[in-house]
Amino acid sequence: MKVLVTGGAGYIGSHICVELLNAGFDVTVYDNFSNSSPEPLKRVMQITGKQLSFISGDVRDEKSLEKALLGCDAVIHFAGLKAVGESVEKPLEYYDNNVYGTLCLLRVMQKLQIKKLVFSSSATVYGNPEFLPFTENHPLRTTNPYGQTKLVIEEMLRALYASDSSWQIMILRYFNPVGAHESGLIGEDPQGIPNNLMPYIAQVAIGRREKVNVFGNDYATYDGTGVRDYIHVQDLALGHVKALQKLSMPQCIAINLGAGKGYSVFDVIKAFSKVCGNEIPFEVMPRRAGDIAEFYSDSTLAQKLLNWNVAHDLDKICEDMWRFQMKNPKGYK
């Protein structure tokens, strides 16, 4: 099966390319490197010993997309902007890239009669929790433009399936992807100041940053800091491959991909300190507006439908992240 991976040069996309190639898929990556670089793709081929194809292009360019999709059987769609804070500052850019870009992709897929799609959604579609852990039946409502773009796309996919039930669509809602490939060759390399906790801790550990800012230690959690569901990026990647392999019948279904348990900020700092052999300096700061105490998944549906389970714990996540950081102290540069 030939698969087009939009945004395949990014953090999650590159790990999925590894798993796709290892599973015997023919992979073409479509990316414009707006928040990534060509280097991970070279390393994907180094890890697997297999070749992938690359086409430079933007998902909002339908002519370029049509050329890239010729001969493809399925699409895994990652291309888009993904920083929550930035989405608040630049909402129109997020709607343009994420929503309009997906609309263009779907139009071209429909034109070429390619109707297998795995879509990269997010647990941000759940918003503030009414209950925990989140199941797929939790009400959908978002608290920021990034999450809203994901929800709009989900609704667009459900409407598309309702209009044409021959589509085969899996919507994967994942929680906090972290870690790196066990080789240390590919991992998360954020541009500028990291938006997420784990890469920030790694940069403090390697000496690129002075300390970790802990936003709030007075939440109603077991140690006062925020609790999140951290899933190893390789577990997440395998979930996408299993989803693609299960797309054998018409459907449009949303599935959680998470570890199914939460770790606090202090848990992550402590685990990373153990792995790197040094105490991670931190400072407790006031809470950030909009942050919530706890956020974690129920991934029973993924276990049942995809035969998928999490294989990596927090210690393994930190170990792999630290290996990548040591091998790449300044990232891919």
User: What are the residue numbers of the active site?
Assistant: 146
CA–CA dist 108, 32 (Å, integer): 18
Instruction: Give the CA-trace dihedral at 236, 240, 241, 244, to 10 degrees.
Output: 170
DSSP three-state, residue 25:
coil
What's the chain's length in residues? Answer: 333
Max CA pair span of the chain: 57
CA–CA dist 210, 204 (Å, integer): 6
CB 153 within 8 A of CB 178: no
- DSSP string across 55-97: EE--TT-HHHHHHHHTT--EEEE--S---HHHHHH-HHHHIII
Cα 63 to Cα 5, 80, 115, 119, 313: the distances in Å are: 17, 18, 18, 21, 43
Closest CA to 295 of 89, 84, 107, 103: 84
Amino acid at 300: T
